[in-house]
Each structure stands twice: as structure tokens, then as C-alpha cells.
């Protein structure tokens, strides 16, 4: 699944005729939108793996 | 006028809701009441000009948290009650032309979170005994608004079909110390011919005893009873499996496939139902590309379904179109 993290907020408003309405607002970060690792990130990761 | 009238022969409540006759019927796309309200445009149900997912109380509600007193007195054989409950509309997206099948996986996953939240919130209300989440899709099943949306009925009683399933599950569990649905899944895996699509944790299949040609159950492989039981990883896989099935449906006849979708899960009446198994049920009205399966004499008159097709053949048709596995669903985005 391409999701890294999903959070939502819920905002309740009252419509003119008295009914409620809920806005669900999402803060989702699709993995495809997460920047690909840079060369220095990869180097750091390699170093960590090598326990350098 | 709205009230509950007791059907003494079937021993179930009938909801009368005469105001629903006046609800909006297939408006032109430019006057959709479920689209966001555009600046300077006509006011729709949603005052803002964009939304992620919206839930609101149905304007033409069959059940109400503050219902009117019944307009008719009870009879000697039929009690009458106020139609207390809550009916909500869930708008899946701002975009008018989307469907659940064409939505990105992230949005389907978000919708699952909304359903989970509504199940918890409505189910926590003391007089709500059952929360039914459902979607009617397509004019063939009587949809009056084409904007992508579903509905939620929070009932003050357990609906009759659910009661019947609960009873069958409890009896089977008592006799076999095992969940009836789990036993059904074992049978489906043993045979294999009716399985339509499979995720890691969920599976979609045409049940052995299907009543509609393209009827599908979608369920967790392990025993889970309600949306409350699902972890984030479960919801990830449910979104994939659900999209996989829906894209298959749309691929079958190469048009947006009509269906009724209902989520069956445990009641919210405070009791435990350890023998009940969460599942989606899909009842598509089509039996071929251009023919509708009508509920005619035998179905409506006697309650017995006649299925003109073999579940094994229809499952093969669905299996052979659209995405074959979750990797192909992921590629769709």
C-alpha cells in the first residue's frame, strides 16, 4: 500500500436547516510523493548498514 | 410523515417515510446537490468549494434522532413507533464523475477510516443497535444522484437480515465450536473456483449459494467481526482488495458496473457476537451486459431466489478480467 502515514481531522458544522455536516480532512502522504533518497542519504544509509 | 409499522406476518419493522417521494431525482450534472458550492454558484448540500470526504445528515431521512410522533395509531396486531435513528450521506469525493472503482487507493483508504469512525461514533449512541453502511450505484438500482456517495443507516433495532445471519451463526457455532463464515471460507478455498480476487488479508468470492449472478462477498481471511477490529495494515489490504474487485466489475462489460454494496458487521447493542464475521455483500442487478435480474414472482412472492447462472462460471468471468493481483491494483494507483 502506498501510504506512509494517514491522519484526519473532523470538523462539524451546522447547516441552515439544523442538520449537521462533518468535513473529514486528510493529511496523507503517499509514498510516491515522498522524495526519492538522495545520493548522500543512500551513502549515509550504506554507512549505517556497514556500521561505519 | 415517518414512522415504524410492525409487519406481524414477517415479524419485522417497516419504515414509512412519505417525504422521500420529493427527493431530488437525477438532476443535470451542473446542478448536482452533492458537488461543492462553487463561488457565485447555486448552494449545494456542501457550503465549501472543495472537500476531501464529507458526511451529513440526510435531508430526506427515513430515520431521525428527533422523529415526529407517528401519524397513525397502532392496530390490534401492528404496533407503531416513532422512526428514531440516524441517516447519513457520505460523499466520497468533490469530483462529480469519480466512482469508488476509479478513485486512487489513498482515497479509498481514507474512506475506510471515515466508515470506521462513523461506525464507532454512531454505534456508541445508546439507542442505536445497528449501523448499516451501504452504497447504491447506478440507475439500474434506483440511484437518484450520480455523485460518488454512499449512505449510513443507524437503526434503533437489528435489521431482519442481520438477525437471521446472527441466529444462523450462533447456532452453527454452538454445534461446531466454529464460525460459520470461517467454515464457508474454508469451503471456498478447498474448491477454489469461486474465488474472484485475493489480497494478503482479504478475499473476494462468489459464494457457493449465490442468489445473484455476480453476487460477491468480500471478507477478512481471519476471524474479525467489525470495522473496529481492523488495524491500519488491515485497512491497507482492504482498500487494495476492494479496488481490485471493483475494477474487475467495471472491466466485465466495459462500463461502470451497477451494484448494491452493504457492509455486514456486528450490532452495536452492547452484546458480544464472537461468532459473527465481518463482510461486504455486493448485489449487482445485471445478469448479462444488457439484462437485469428482476426480483419477480418467486423472489418477491416466496422469498426464494432463482439464480439462472452458475457461481463457478461467473467467478471465472470476473477472475479473467481486470487486475489479477494486488501488484496490478497498486500499479493502478
* Contact criterion met (CB < 8 Å) for B46 and A2: no
Is the pTM of the predicted complex or chain greater than 0.95?
A: no
Can you count the helices (H) and strands (E) in chain A?
1, 2
CATH T-level topology, domain B24-59+85-332 = HIT family, subunit A (3.30.428)
The span from the CA of B305 to the CA of B293, in Å, is 10
The span from the CA of B56 to the CA of B45, in Å, is 9
Could you give the residue numbers annotated as active site of B?
149
Report in angstroms the alpha-carbon separations of B86 from A37, B70, B89, B190, B326. 48, 17, 10, 41, 36
Residue B48 clears pLDDT 90, i.e. is over it: yes
Q: Encode burial over B113-132: b for 16+ CB neighbours within 10 A, e otherwise.
A: bbbbbbbebbbeeeebbbbb
The DSSP 8-state label assigned to residue A34 in this structure reads: S
Q: Any idea where the domains of chain B sit in the sequence?
A: 24-59+85-332
* Contact criterion met (CB < 8 Å) for B56 and A21: yes
- Across the A/B interface, how many CB contacts are shorter than 8 Å? 67
* Contact criterion met (CB < 8 Å) for A23 and B52: yes
pLDDT tens for each residue of A2-44: 555 678 999 999 999 999 999 999 975 544 443 444 444 444 4
Distance from the A37 Cα atom to the nearest Cα atom in chain B, whole angstroms: 21
DSSP string of B97-108, one letter each residue = T--TTTS-HHHH
Report in angstroms the alpha-carbon separations of A41 from A2, B102, B196. 21, 35, 42
pLDDT tens for each residue of B12-26: 999 998 876 666 666
Number of neighbours of residue B163 by Cβ within 10 angstroms: 15
* Contact criterion met (CB < 8 Å) for A2 and B333: yes
Interface predicted TM-score (ipTM) of this complex, two decimals:
0.93
Lowest mean pLDDT, pick from A38-42, B141-145, B247-251, B265-269: A38-42
Chain B residue at shortest CA distance from A30: B106
Residue A49 clears pLDDT 80, i.e. is over it: no
Q: Is A25 on the interface with B (CB under 8 A)?
A: yes
The span from the CA of B248 to the CA of B205, in Å, is 12
Q: For helices B311-319 and B232-252, give the axis angle rounded to 10 degrees.
A: 100
Amino acid at each position: 500500500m502506498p501510504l506512509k502515514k494517514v491522519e484526519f481531522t473532523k470538523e462539524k458544522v451546522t447547516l441552515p436547516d439544523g442538520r449537521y455536516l462533518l468535513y473529514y480532512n486528510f493529511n496523507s502522504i503517499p509514498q510516491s510523493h515522498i522524495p526519492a533518497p538522495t545520493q548522500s542519504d543512500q551513502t549515509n544509509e550504506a554507512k549505517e548498514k556497514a556500521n561505519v | 410523515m415517518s414512522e415504524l409499522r410492525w409487519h406481524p406476518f414477517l415479524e419485522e419493522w417497516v419504515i414509512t417515510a412519505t417525504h422521500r417521494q420529493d427527493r431530488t431525482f437525477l438532476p443535470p450534472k451542473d446542478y448536482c446537490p452533492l458537488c461543492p458550492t462553487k463561488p457565485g454558484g447555486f448552494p449545494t448540500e456542501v457550503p465549501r468549494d472543495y472537500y476531501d470526504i464529507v458526511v451529513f445528515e440526510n435531508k430526506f431521512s427515513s430515520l431521525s434522532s428527533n422523529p415526529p410522533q407517528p401519524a397513525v395509531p397502532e392496530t390490534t396486531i401492528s404496533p407503531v413507533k416513532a422512526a428514531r435513528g440516524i441517516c447519513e450521506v457520505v460523499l466520497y469525493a468533490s469530483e462529480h464523475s469519480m466512482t469508488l472503482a476509479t478513485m486512487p487507493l489513498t482515497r479509498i483508504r481514507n474512506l475506510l477510516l471515515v466508515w470506521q469512525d462513523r461506525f464507532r461514533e454512531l454505534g456508541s449512541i445508546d439507542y442505536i443497535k445497528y449501523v448499516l453502511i451501504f452504497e447504491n450505484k447506478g440507475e439500474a438500482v434506483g440511484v437518484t444522484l450520480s455523485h460518488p456517495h454512499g449512505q449510513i443507516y443507524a437503526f434503533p433495532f437489528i435489521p431482519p437480515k442481520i438477525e437471521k445471519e446472527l441466529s444462523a451463526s450462533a447456532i452453527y457455532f454452538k454445534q461446531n465450536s466454529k464460525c460459520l463464515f470461517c467454515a464457508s471460507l474454508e469451503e471456498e478455498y478447498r474448491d477454489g473456483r469461486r474465488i474472484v480476487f485475493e489480497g494478503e488479508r482479504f478475499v473476494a468470492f462468489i459464494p457457493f449459494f449465490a442468489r445473484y449472478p455476480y453476487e460477491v462477498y468480500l471478507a477478512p481471511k481471519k476471524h474479525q467481526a467489525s470495522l473496529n477490529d481492523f488495524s491500519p495494515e488491515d485497512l491497507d489490504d482492504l482498500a487494495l482488495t476492494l479496488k481490485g474487485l471493483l475494477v474487475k466489475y467495471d472491466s466485465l462489460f466495459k462500463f461502470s458496473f451497477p451494484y448494491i454494496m452493504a457492509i455486514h458487521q456486528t450490532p452495536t447493542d452492547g452484546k458480544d457476537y464472537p461468532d459473527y464475521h465481518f463482510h461486504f455483500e455486493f448485489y449487482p442487478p445485471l445478469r448479462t451486459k444488457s439484462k437485469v435480474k428482476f426480483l419477480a414472482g418467486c423472489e418477491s412472492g416466496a422469498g426464494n431466489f432463482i439464480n439462472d447462472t452458475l457461481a463457478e462460471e461467473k467467478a471465472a468471468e470476473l477472475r479473467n478480467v481486470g487486475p489479477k493481483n494486488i501488484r496490478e491494483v497498486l500499479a493502478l494507483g
